[in-house]
Amino acid sequence: MKAISEATLRRLPTYYHYLEIVNAEGLEYASSTTIANHMGLDPVQVRKDLQVTGVLGKPKSGFKVSELLTAIAAFLNWTNKNSAFLAGAGNLGKALIGYPGFEKYGMSIVAAFDTDPLKNKMKVSNIPILPLGKLPELAERMHVHIGIITTPANVAQEVADLMIEGGIKALWNFAPVHLVMPEDIIVENAQFSTSLAVLTRKLGQTAELELV
């Protein structure tokens, strides 16, 4: 098990998406220079990043596309199917439940949870919305290891605690709050406000520059 940088890890999906396009175009090989140009990176960086997959490029032709696709997917654990529970069936929660692309990334939302009894009678995209209280027991019984949090901020911590009580090990947190968790729990934050802070701040700076 090699330690790799988080930056490399975050770039791997983008390589994967690019290679899918190359593959669909029928190209058998892609060089690190071509990949680098397309992604706005240095070829040295590309070679270093892709080293983690164990696939070796050939001196002239480059990397075999199909081989690299398989290796990246295996490296990211996308070839396994990880079951996930989602808590909070509001607008965002429902959109994620209905999102068709997750299977490709090794994740499958198998059930959703909400405290609203009206929602508990519904299904979204054929996924049942169950009462929140049932989450820990079901997570344990179904060996679910990923929890997606799309609840309001004020209940997110409580929901996260319920998830780890049921043996969930990795949290994908969309609620705008910092979760306090034991060290062995994986937390990946995906708050809109974080992305927007970067956009709006930089945009504000651009506007200032134009006024000068």
End-to-end Cα distance, the chain: 52
Could you give the string, one character per residue 136-175, with x where binding to its own copies holds by CB under 8 A and - elsewhere? ---------xx------xx--------------xx-x---
Query: Residue 85's closest CA among 67, 69, 99, 97?
Result: 97
The reply on whether position 29 binds its own copies by CB under 8 A is no
Whichever of 78 and 113 has its CB closer to its own copies, that residue is 78
The reply on whether position 25 binds its own copies by CB under 8 A is no
User: CB of 57: closest distance to its own copies in angstroms?
Assistant: 20
The reply on whether position 110 binds its own copies by CB under 8 A is no
The reply on whether position 63 binds its own copies by CB under 8 A is no
d(CA 95, CA 192): 14
Whichever of 133 and 161 has its CB closer to its own copies, that residue is 161
- Whether the CB-CB separation of 181 and 207 falls below 8 Å is answered with no
Of 5-13, 26-34, 58-66, 110-118, which part binds its own copies (CB under 8 A)?
5-13
d(CA 53, CA 15): 12
Query: Residue 150's closest CA among 82, 104, 94?
Result: 94
Find the radius of gyration of the CA atoms of the chain. Answer: 20
The reply on whether position 95 binds its own copies by CB under 8 A is yes
Of 25-33, 86-94, 128-136, 159-167, which part binds its own copies (CB under 8 A)?
86-94
DSSP 90: S
User: CB of 93: closest distance to its own copies in angstroms?
Assistant: 9
User: CB of 135: closest distance to its own copies in angstroms?
Assistant: 18
DSSP string, 128-175: EEEEGGGHHHHHHHHT--EEEE-S-HHHHHHHHHHHHHTT--EEEE-S
The reply on whether position 204 binds its own copies by CB under 8 A is yes
Q: Is 88 left (phi over 0), alpha (psi -120 to 50) or beta?
A: left
Chain residues that interact with its own copies, rule: CB under 8 A: 1, 6, 9-10, 12-14, 16-18, 21, 38-40, 75-78, 80, 82, 91-92, 94-96, 98-102, 105-107, 145-146, 153-154, 169-170, 172, 176-178, 180, 184, 186, 188, 190-206, 208-209
